[in-house]
Amino acid sequence: MNRRTLVSPLAALFLVLLLICSCTAVRIPPGERPEGEKPKGDPFSRVYAVPFKEFHPRLNQALQKYAGEKPGNSFQVTHLGNDQVIIRGFYQKEANQARLPIVITIKPAGPEKTHLEIKPPADQVATSDTSVSELFKILERETGFLPAE
């Protein structure tokens, strides 16, 4: 057997395996995660076991109340529809903090469920994770809605 004919199929096989492995994500089964390490969900979205039509008015009311009590915060509904509601605004925890521009999107997530997403600007995602978490806590406290399990 010629050495050249043996190398070519092996190289092709190696290349195919490399391509397959580079395109698939490695997933660790839940039972095999290191102790104390939890799977990370999207820190910018949550699902609530509340109907969409009941959820978005109370959310907007809570945002307006918070903005009225805390100067530097403002929120405005920019899209109101049957399939989604978009609220744009600025969130500021403390007076000496920079205002964080955010977009809040509310969508139905099935019967009796609503999906809420709070997105900061793309260039500020890494630094605004805690601010978004704080805003979720404020909204949950003001509306009384808790995330669905």
Following DSSP, what letter does each residue of the chain receive, concatenated? --HHHHHHHHHHHHHHHHHHHHHS-----GGGSPTT------TTEEEESS-HHHHHHHHHHHHHHHHHHSTT-EEEEEEE-SS-EEEEEEE-SSTTSPPEEEEEEEEE-STT-EEEEEE--GGGTTT-HHHHHHHHHHHHHHH---B--
Give the global pTM: 0.69
Kindly report, residue by residue over 30-64, the tens digit of the pLDDT: 444 344 333 457 889 999 999 999 999 999 999 99
pLDDT at 2 (0 to 100): 54
